[in-house]
């Protein structure tokens, strides 16, 4: 795997003006001129990651791009894996500084991708939150919803976290029924995707409508409708598993 350098700030990636990734030789300049949260390397995956606390002092030789746009524009599996991992590990490292049991400051583990407590020996690994995302079909129509909590005015698939004790399939049935009042059948697994906002692993499914009328869970959804797959409203961009489900790519 090729070594690559990623400079991240919030939900953005820092690129050079020509759209390429910064070189390692540029890290020191960026670090010196901007507040730094974290810097780490991972030899086995070719990662060098600089996390910024602020990007206010980036000069004109650099530009910011939203990570979601970067995902959409890069189809190379290696780059996508590396940037997903870079963002996920940066999130984890920023939040996992002290032991949850005794409060001691955590140390880096010498071998594992983990941190260890020098006092009680607790091991802390990167956290992954499993989620389901599902496209429901009804004949030639697909069910898309506008999510209340989202800051984007788009329609997307039903999604939610898998709760303790659930299988992924049970979570599919529960989330769809809770949010829309619809029962589904023929649940089929389609694929997965890391989604580091902050630490989700999205498990993608399709399901068929079985019964019920749309009754919105207002806390989660502001709207949900059946749409023609070829005439959808604004929906997620390429680079997301939601896009792949909606456009029949998986």
For 13-44, b where at least 16 C-beta lie within 10 A, e where not — what string? bbbeeeeebbeeebbeebeeebeeebeeeeee
For residue 145, the SS3 value is: strand
pLDDT of residue 230: 87
Residue 176, token pair as written in the block: 């769809």
**What is the chain's Cα-based Rg?**
21
Residue 180, judged by CB atoms within 10 A of its CB (0-12, 13-18, 19+), counts as buried
Give me the pLDDT at residue 75, please.
84
Provide the pLDDT for residue 151. Answer: 64
Q: What pLDDT was estimated at residue 49?
A: 96
Structure confidence at residue 150 (pLDDT): 75
What is the residue-level pLDDT of the chain in tens, covering all 250 positions? 899 999 999 999 999 999 999 999 998 889 889 999 999 999 999 999 999 999 999 999 999 999 999 988 888 889 999 999 999 999 999 999 999 999 999 999 999 999 999 999 999 999 999 999 999 999 999 999 999 987 678 999 999 999 999 999 999 999 999 999 999 999 999 999 999 999 999 999 999 999 999 999 999 999 999 999 888 898 898 889 999 999 999 9
Give the residue ranges of DSSP H helices in the chain.
27-33, 67-73, 77-95, 168-180, 241-246
């Amino acid at each position: 795997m090729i070594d690559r350098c990623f400079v991240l700030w919030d939900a953005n990636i820092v690129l050079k003006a020509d759209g390429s990734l910064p070189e390692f030789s540029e890290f020191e300049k960026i670090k010196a001129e901007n507040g730094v949260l974290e810097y780490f390397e991972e030899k086995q995956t070719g990662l060098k990651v600089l996390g910024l606390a602020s990007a206010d002092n980036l000069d004109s030789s650099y530009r910011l791009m939203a990570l979601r746009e970067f995902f959409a524009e890069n189809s190379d599996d290696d780059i996508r894996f590396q940037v997903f991992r870079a963002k996920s590990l940066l999130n984890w490292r920023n939040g996992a500084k002290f032991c949850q049991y005794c409060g001691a400051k955590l140390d880096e583990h010498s071998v594992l991708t983990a941190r260890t407590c020098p006092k009680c020996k607790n091991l802390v690994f990167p956290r992954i939150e499993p989620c389901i995302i599902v496209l429901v079909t009804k004949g030639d129509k697909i069910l898309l919803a506008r999510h209340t909590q989202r800051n984007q005015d788009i329609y997307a698939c039903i999604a939610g976290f898998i709760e303790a004790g659930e299988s992924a399939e049970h979570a599919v049935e529960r989330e769809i029924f809770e949010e829309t009042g619809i029962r589904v059948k023929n649940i089929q697994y389609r694929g997965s995707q890391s989604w580091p906002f902050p630490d989700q692993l999205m498990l993608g499914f399709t399901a068929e409508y079985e019964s019920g009328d749309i009754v919105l869970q207002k806390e989660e959804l502001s709207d949900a409708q059946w749409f023609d797959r070829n005439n959808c409203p604004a929906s997620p961009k390429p680079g997301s598993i939601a896009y792949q489900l909606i456009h029949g790519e998986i």
